Structure 1
Amino acid sequence: MGLLSFIWISILMLLCNGENNEGAVKISLKRIKTSLVNVQRNVTLFKTGENRIVLKNLGDVIYYAEIGIGTPTQNFPVMFDTGSADLWVRSKDWPDRTEAEHKLPKYNSTESSSYSENGEPAEIIYAGCAIEGFLSTDDVTVGHMIVNKQDFIEATGEVEEKTYFQFTVYDGVVGLAFQECSVRNTVPVWYNMINQHLVHQEVFSLWLKYYNEQDEEGGAIVFGGIDNAHFRGAHTYVPIIEEYYWEFKMNEILIGGQGTGHCVDGCSVMIDSGESYLIGPSSIIENINIALGADEVANVDCSRVPLMPTVSFTIGERVFSLSTRDYILVHGIGEIATCATKFRIIHDDDDYHNDDLWILGGVFMRPYHTVFDFGNRRIGFAEAVQEPIWDSSIKH
């Protein structure tokens, strides 16, 4: 959650078969220079049946699944977040401030025979919220995999009387960024999957579907490989430039197919499954919103949405375009509908090590299937397989 935008709170309140390859685990979800770039077609198939956790897509805002901790297993709905590195769940000491919090499970170490005490204090600061607690060690179950002796944070509450987690439907976070991003330099769950030989390939992939209230599956995360049913064509790979976030370089931004002059010399970008928007430096985001006809708070006239252009990002030698299906947020229907873009600015109090960093969240990850190639320190994108195009027209 590299970025958990505060605007999420209002939204939350509203609200294939293939050849089996042992070592690939599918968790179903119920959400530089050209010389260094290569395009590769993936042909490995993975069975999609056994290792499935039904994960929900909450209105294209949050994608979460269930994991287990302890012996016997205590189950928790968690977000899989490529923008952070730590695993945390609510402890039995977490206060119940709302009925929603009261209903969520809380980890109780006294009920687990595989628990080991640590006790070191820990705090994670996200954009607009923070949690605190202490380290513990226990076995963690993800799909059919059991990760032994995994360090994690037992969260005892929010910092400084923050209230974000009063309204969430998930109970914690599984961080999938690099260990350097860990607040206590603990070994992340993904690293231990590799170290304990639970996956045969040092790759995981994410497929985030568009929200459909009739569809119980909101996408998939596959540990140990990819699923060819999730994408079309070839992935374009670019190298990771810093082992902290999943950070890489992108080049020029285009609007309606026309160059804007932004990022022609390269901009640093991270891919973040814990962020629902697309976030960047204020001057460029403001220019993009102005070009789209948005006001100072990103609102647009809903009647103009069908006529709005694509916004595209150059990654490697390929242009990745976003349509209004991807970048327009619609509240309400008919004459009471309001519309806004999903392009937002980095605020001064956001906890990032680079003020010029771009964050590509769900806005980008839904149209583009993402491969996190840890072994080769690269990241790849291909067109995601999705449901028929959403009708962006607003009826009045």
Structure 2
Amino acid sequence: MRNQLPSYLFTSLVLHWLQRSGVNAALGSQKLVSVGQTMTLMKRNPSADWTVEDWGTWAQNERKTLEMKYGGGHHRKRSSGTNAIVNQNGDSSYYGSLAIGTPPVSYNVILDTGSADLWVAGQGCSAGCEGISSFNPSDSSSFHNDSNTFSITYGSGQAAGYLGQDVVQMAGFQVSNQVFAVCDQVSSGLLSSPVSGLLGLGFETIASSKATPFWETLVTEGAWDQPVMSFHLTRYLNVSDVESLEPGGSFTMGFLNDSLYTGDIDYVDLPVEASYWILPITGITVQNNSVPAPSGQAAYAAIDTGTTLVGGPSDVISQIFDQIPGSSPGSGSFESYYTYPCDTDVTIELSFGGSQSWAISPADFRLTRLTRDTCLGAFFEITSKGSAPSWIVGDTFLKNVYSVFRYSPASVGFAQLSSLAIGLNGNKSIPVPTPTVGSSPASVSATGTIGVSGTKASTSHTHLLTHVMALLIVALGTILI
């Protein structure tokens, strides 16, 4: 009897066959809208050649960015789809693609549940926009300039420009008059090729533009089968010979991909009015030792796909590292961070008031090796201001769960990753996804109009594709066992 191929390799073969057969080109079109497409995520990885000084600069920018991002300065017919995302620079950030304009042009954007604005670099941007695709309003027949200024500030820089409206497409969905910012001023280092901007997936209440976010228009206008969006993020951190771009997982809108998780989704309702995706931290365990959990607002954590690490109050962070023998506070560029012995595998579990606690892999807790014996931890101290959450829980945690962001009732849910999802971590045989632009996506507008043309045809085509994939998987399994 021949050796059986792992399930993730079956999936890779199936996807490769579908792509060679021309099916992949249809994934963004109306014909497949009813089944739900998945947006493949891309992962961005820190360079293996970074020095300790490089890591120090990056670490401080990460902390300052979070303090600015959550500093209170910017408070203020049905279907489903999937977008393949990219892991950039070793789990540093995850981006997907969307299309803007008539005719549609693809742009790569960071997917960020910790903000609520869509912005892309404009053609007039020079400094800070080298080597990236930029939006030219004159190339789109459907663009409208709103003549309102836009500005958003991060710890490591600023993006500024003006607001406009245009057709925006993503994963088989379209908003015909989406408000977004065209930025002609972008601080150096804020964008890294091939990323052109950012898609905020938080609530309208925190949008600097005051505009309804793309995702919120889709869900409130009834474009989704279910009022949910979800993430599966891959891990390439500390993998040898990792490339700057790797397959990052997937971002789904309007449905849950049950092949990527096991068991039930453990939902916890947001404890405050919808703004950020906030959950209370109710339990912390380090190396099987319990650390006293904060209470009240001090326990509030923003679940943020646009943040690499986990930030929290200094007193709790210090207690976490107290449970790790040989750890010590960082200094200089590593102030607010902690180091620990590299020969120690650190396991941390977090609870958010649901029925389960969720473990962070030692591979994710180890941000990088600074010396032969000293490693840098992925938890660090932040100082929150005003009504900003005390904790920011980023990809260090989210890589270990299937995460779901539910609009109604407003809640965040987590589930255990399936063997298929886990098998994608560090996988070097899977190609990096490329953006596709759908020719006839399901359409809604900010005024409430829902496009319905072609719905019946799309449903039948989708079901046919589903059956074809199922039969192909069974056939491959029969042949290879």
TM-score class, shorter: 0.7 to 0.9
| Mapped partners of 2:208, 2:389: distance in 1 | 22
Once structures 1 and 2 are overlaid, which stretch shifts more, 380-389 or 109-118? 380-389
SS at match of 1:164: coil
1:24 corresponds in structure 2 to 36
| Mapped partners of 1:140, 1:47: distance in 2 | 16
The alpha-carbon distance between structure 1 residues 60 and 238, as it changes in their structure 2 partners (threshold 3 A), is same
User: Does residue 344 of structure 2 align to residue 305 of structure 1?
Assistant: yes
SS at match of 1:174: strand
> Which whole-Å deviations, capped at 9, do the CAs of 1:266-313 have from their partners, x for residues lacking one?
71111000000001112211222233232212453444323x3x2121
Kindly provide the amino acid, as one letter, of the partner of residue 292 in structure 2. Answer: G
User: Does residue 291 of structure 2 align to residue 260 of structure 1?
Assistant: yes
2:408 corresponds in structure 1 to 375
1:163 corresponds in structure 2 to 188
Measured after TM superposition, the shift of residue 368 of structure 1 is 0.9
SS at match of 2:142: coil
Measured after TM superposition, the shift of residue 235 of structure 1 is 1.6
2:368 corresponds in structure 1 to 330
Measured after TM superposition, the shift of residue 236 of structure 1 is 1.0
| Mapped partners of 1:54, 1:271: distance in 2 | 18
| Mapped partners of 1:155, 1:380: distance in 2 | 34
Please give the TM-score of this superposition, normalised by the length of structure 1: 0.79
Q: Which runs of 5+ in 2 are unaligned?
A: 1-10, 15-31, 44-78, 331-336, 427-481
Contact in 2 for aligned 1:54/1:216 (Cα 8 Å): no
Contact in 1 for aligned 2:300/2:391 (Cα 8 Å): yes
Choose which of 134, 142, 145 in structure 1 pairs with 2:170: 142
| Mapped partners of 2:316, 2:383: distance in 1 | 13
Contact in 2 for aligned 1:29/1:57 (Cα 8 Å): no
User: Does residue 179 of structure 2 align to residue 176 of structure 1?
Assistant: no
Measured after TM superposition, the shift of residue 164 of structure 1 is 2.9
Choose which of 29, 47, 58 in structure 1 pairs with 2:89: 58
Kindly provide the amino acid, as one letter, of the partner of residue 76 in structure 1. Answer: Y
Contact in 2 for aligned 1:210/1:387 (Cα 8 Å): no
Kindly provide the amino acid, as one letter, of the partner of residue 383 in structure 1. Answer: Q
2:301 corresponds in structure 1 to 269
1:84 corresponds in structure 2 to 115
Q: Aligned runs of 1:193-272 on 2, under 5 Å?
A: 193-211=218-236, 213=242, 216-241=246-271, 242-263=273-294, 267-272=299-304
Contact in 1 for aligned 2:121/2:182 (Cα 8 Å): yes
Choose which of 312, 319, 324 in structure 2 pairs with 1:280: 312
Indicate the RMSD between aligned Cα atoms, in angstroms.
2.8
- Give the structure, 1 or 2, with the largest relative contact order (CA under 8 Å, sep 6 or more): 2
Choose which of 351, 355, 360 in structure 2 pairs with 1:314: 351
Please give the TM-score of this superposition, normalised by the length of structure 2: 0.66
| Mapped partners of 1:166, 1:389: distance in 2 | 25
| Mapped partners of 1:193, 1:388: distance in 2 | 30
SS at match of 2:359: strand
Kindly provide the amino acid, as one letter, of the partner of residue 323 in structure 1. Answer: S
SS at match of 2:343: helix
Choose which of 318, 336, 361 in structure 1 pairs with 2:394: 361
Contact in 1 for aligned 2:232/2:249 (Cα 8 Å): yes
Aligned length: 345
Contact in 2 for aligned 1:83/1:176 (Cα 8 Å): yes
Higher helix share: 2
1:8 corresponds in structure 2 to none
Contact in 2 for aligned 1:83/1:274 (Cα 8 Å): yes
Contact in 2 for aligned 1:281/1:355 (Cα 8 Å): no
Q: Which runs of 5+ in 1 are unaligned?
A: 1-15, 32-45, 391-396
1:5 corresponds in structure 2 to none
1:106 corresponds in structure 2 to 134
> Which whole-Å deviations, capped at 9, do the CAs of 1:342-369 have from their partners, x for residues lacking one?
0011146xxx643552111001100011
Measured after TM superposition, the shift of residue 132 of structure 1 is 1.1
User: Does residue 328 of structure 2 align to residue 295 of structure 1?
Assistant: yes
Choose which of 43, 51, 72 in structure 1 pairs with 2:103: 72
The alpha-carbon distance between structure 1 residues 175 and 166, as it changes in their structure 2 partners (threshold 3 A), is closer
Structure of larger gyration radius: 2
| Mapped partners of 1:166, 1:337: distance in 2 | 33
Aligned-residue sequence identity (percent) comes to 24
Higher strand share: 1
